[in-house]
Structure 1
Amino acid sequence: MKAPLTGQIWQQAQELLPWLTQVRRDFHQYPELGMEEFRTQEQIIRYLEEIGIPYCKSAGTGVVGVIEGAAPGAVVALRGDMDALPIHEQNDTLYRSQVPGKMHACGHDAHMTCLLGAARILNALRGELSGVVKLFFQPAEETVGGALPMIREGVLDNPRVEAVFGLHVSADLPAGKIAVKYGQMNAASDDAHITVRGENGHGAYPHKGRDAIVIAAHVITALQTVVSRNVDPREAAVVTIGMIAGGTAPNILAQEVKLTGTIRTLDKNVRALVKERVREVAELTARSLGGSAQVEFAEGYTSLINDKELVDQVKRCGEALLGSGNVRVNDFPMMGVEDFAFFAEQVPGAFYHLGVRNEEKDCIYPVHHPRFDIDERSLAVGAAMQAYNAIAFLQERALRSQAEK
């Protein structure tokens, strides 16, 4: 991309900052949980109509906008998630959440705002575009996952998307910087539901029953060996039991205990191994103590794997816009999950981090914290980066097409 156009994108993003700030604060004050984003959807539609971008609804509360360039060409998508978290905000700002018990504590208000800013920039530069840009405003990233329903409704088709870009705010990264990661970026997730059964009895006569609580305690301890003694140390996996429920009275042996936990893995073979061993360890440990264990898994998100060529492009765009010193390459993946992975599983994708940290403004708290907030100057960076990613991809594909003729 020519330098003057790079400067034009950056200038437009900076000029949009007051508008971006207003948009983000509106989203922030009225957070909605997954698949409940009805007001959020209405606001997004209103903004798209004001910009002049056609749209359609998707996956119930989602929105897909379409920007067609002046000439035919490739198709690229940009994604921003919409939902908030069931967290009561503790910040004392003019734009704090007005909905008790709900808060945009993961930065999705910023993600939507950056995507709307990119939409305004791209729409203003339609004459420079050869191809199509799709805008995915996706619901329910934090809950049931809105990416798969959108994919099943055909958002990647008609016309077929050839690449998808997404970003996520990071409170570990100073505002004005971005971070990219090659290859594996986020883990896959599975929930484990384990029901341990024993036999009721009086607490004073434990030999006449089978204490499900004691059995469950041994199961939990034994599960710690699944990763430490089954997974190659060069691989990554996590088994965490986060919930225990059982017992009816202090002097009665529990007949049933329910354990619920999460499994996080990066590799699909490790994922299968860990689930197999969790089942075997739970069942055999319980049996050895005179009880039983039933194990069920609820499959979550798939592992997010970035496309190398697209990460290269994000890195180049970031260096051109922000300077090479403001682009960091992360060495290690995260064990958290991200349903952008489903888009990247269908078409090449690149997901990267947008710095929002500023100690002077007390923007230091991690995502999912009741005092999470962002340096709003980062909104212009995110809008410029997303617009630049789309334009650079379309231009590269146009040049490649011309070279092949």
Structure 2
Amino acid sequence: MKTMTLDAVKLAKDNENLTIEMRRALHQIPELELELPETVAYVKRKLDEFGIAYRELINGNALVATIYGAEEGKCLAIRADMDALPVTEETGLEFASTHPGNMHACGHDSHTAIALTVAKILNEHKDALHGAVKFIFQPGEEIPGGAKPMIDEGALENPRPDYIMGMHGGSLIDMPRGSIGFKDNELMASMDRFSITVKGIGGHGANPQKTVDPIIIAGEILLGLQKIISRELSPVDRALVSVCKIEGGSSQNIIPDEVHMLGTARTLNETTRDMVERRIGEIASGIATTYGGSATTVYERFYPVLNNDPEFTHYVKGITSKLYPDDIVDMEVPTMGGEDMAFYLREIPGTFMFLSNLAPAKDGVCYPNHNAKFDLDESTFYKSVSIFVATALDMLKAEVHQ
């Protein structure tokens, strides 16, 4: 085991420049949602260069590449998301986005580059594998979600993975730079969106008594929704309801007919999720009716709770602790961020890890994920590569992990 882990680190370091080179190339061509033609073309070129077979899904915007070892055995899947965000980059990097208005502001460029590096290494050493490694290159993680359509199109079949793993870079939870975070069970929250349309009767701002003011109603709804968390849930139950956008009105003296509200709800179990969805609609409608108006709520469920399999998480953590014994962080609480890796983990046991690797911007500040000045410490990428490689080599050795 010791030799294998040392080899994994050496293989990762030997390919470190390639990982960084690929990340920088991908960083320059950020694309959104489920349409990633340039990104997929780049990944396909690299897979062709490495001699790795793949198939296309989601109208050519997703790839599944599989490496088969010398003998039959278990199958490990490694997932990498490829999409970017509608953010105008302000990093000043030499390899900054060449697509105006789009930016890899969440680290998916590094996830893809890391997975490509792992694929190259394992393909060069496939004789050591007793089984298969499947690489899932996925679009649309940021919305509308690419995991479920990939699953629906058979990404997890032929062969079906026994386990799946992934890693997210940046800083989704506070950890020392360079550390790797692990957590059993709930790691990330469900991610849902709700919109509320409040209807009243508009009129002159100087004669409010002749109107039904939807702005006042929206304000009452906003306050009412917060009481779901503070008064209807146990203090030890984690959930949140955030109204992030309110639109209505056109002038300082016109009470509008409608106000539109948009927000997100996050929970850590399906029972709470059901309750929050129901209560948002009931509170909005009830308050609006009380004040003479009406409210229509549309609640959309996007990603479920991300649950890590405890057994496999402990297994990968054990391998990682031999590689980087001083860099392990046991995360005590989940983050309320959402991730559609959750869909794979509902189908197959696996684990999702965090690599803390923010890099300071030119002003010295480390900006978080989704910020226009977000950047990553490229000197940490090899850690992710080595963990994936070491896990595959160990899991798919002759004495298969049980």
Decide: shared fold, TM above 0.5.
Answer: yes
Which residue identity lines up with residue 71 of structure 1 in the other structure? E
1:45 match = 44
Q: Distance in 2 between matches of 1:174 and 1:12?
A: 25
Q: Distance in 2 between matches of 1:357 and 1:204?
A: 52
Is 50-59 or 388-397 further displaced after alignment?
388-397
How far did residue 28 of structure 1 move?
A: 0.7
1:262-301 matches, within 5 Å, as: 262-301=264-303
Contact 1:189–1:299, Cα closer than 8 Å, also in 2: yes
2:128 match = 128
2:161 match = 161
State the Cα deviation string for residues 252-275 of structure 1 (Å, max 9, x = none). 222111111111111110001111
Which residue identity lines up with residue 388 of structure 2 in the other structure? Q
How far did residue 5 of structure 1 move?
A: 1.8
Contact 1:242–1:261, Cα closer than 8 Å, also in 2: yes
How far did residue 89 of structure 1 move?
A: 1.1
How far did residue 98 of structure 1 move?
A: 1.7
Check if 1:71 corresponds to 2:71.
Answer: yes
Q: Distance in 2 between matches of 1:62 and 1:192?
A: 28
Aligned residue pair count: 398
Q: Distance in 1 between matches of 2:320 and 2:365?
A: 22
Which residue identity lines up with residue 177 of structure 1 in the other structure? S
Which residue identity lines up with residue 150 of structure 1 in the other structure? M
1:318 match = 320
Judging changes above 3 Å, is the alpha-carbon distance between structure 1 residues 176 and 200 closer, same or farther for their aligned structure 2 residues? closer
How far did residue 285 of structure 1 move?
A: 0.9
Contact 1:169–1:354, Cα closer than 8 Å, also in 2: yes
How far did residue 250 of structure 1 move?
A: 2.5
Question: Percentage identity across aligned positions?
Answer: 37
Judging changes above 3 Å, is the alpha-carbon distance between structure 1 residues 396 and 233 closer, same or farther for their aligned structure 2 residues? farther
Which residue identity lines up with residue 94 of structure 1 in the other structure? E
Judging changes above 3 Å, is the alpha-carbon distance between structure 1 residues 138 and 360 closer, same or farther for their aligned structure 2 residues? closer
Q: Distance in 2 between matches of 1:276 and 1:125?
A: 53
How far did residue 379 of structure 1 move?
A: 1.5
1:329 match = 330
Q: Distance in 1 between matches of 2:383 and 2:210?
A: 67
Contact 1:196–1:291, Cα closer than 8 Å, also in 2: yes
2:170 match = 170
Q: Alignment partner of 1:313: what SS? A: helix
How far did residue 248 of structure 1 move?
A: 3.5
How far did residue 226 of structure 1 move?
A: 1.0
Q: Distance in 2 between matches of 1:240 and 1:358?
A: 29
Which residue identity lines up with residue 191 of structure 1 in the other structure? R
State the Cα deviation string for residues 142-161 of structure 1 (Å, max 9, x = none). 12111001100111111211
2:17 match = 18
2:138 match = 138
Q: Alignment partner of 2:169: what SS? A: strand
Q: Distance in 2 between matches of 1:192 and 1:177?
A: 35
1:239 match = 241
Q: Alignment partner of 1:216: what SS? A: helix
Which residue identity lines up with residue 26 of structure 2 in the other structure? F
How far did residue 200 of structure 1 move?
A: 2.2
Contact 1:198–1:291, Cα closer than 8 Å, also in 2: yes
RMSD: 1.6
Q: Distance in 2 between matches of 1:174 and 1:326?
A: 8
Judging changes above 3 Å, is the alpha-carbon distance between structure 1 residues 175 and 228 closer, same or farther for their aligned structure 2 residues? closer
Q: Alignment partner of 1:190: what SS? A: strand
Contact 1:73–1:397, Cα closer than 8 Å, also in 2: no
How far did residue 93 of structure 1 move?
A: 1.9
How far did residue 175 of structure 1 move?
A: 4.6
Contact 1:178–1:352, Cα closer than 8 Å, also in 2: yes
Is 310-319 or 298-307 further displaced after alignment?
310-319
1:403 match = none
1:194 match = 196
Q: Distance in 2 between matches of 1:118 and 1:299?
A: 33
1:80 match = 80
Check if 1:390 corresponds to 2:392.
Answer: yes
Judging changes above 3 Å, is the alpha-carbon distance between structure 1 residues 399 and 177 closer, same or farther for their aligned structure 2 residues? closer
Q: Alignment partner of 2:344: what SS? A: helix
Which residue identity lines up with residue 37 of structure 1 in the other structure? L
Which residue identity lines up with residue 223 of structure 1 in the other structure? L
Q: Distance in 1 between matches of 2:215 and 2:361?
A: 49
Which residue identity lines up with residue 10 of structure 2 in the other structure? Q
How far did residue 59 of structure 1 move?
A: 1.8
State the Cα deviation string for residues 124-149 of structure 1 (Å, max 9, x = none). 22111100110000001012111001
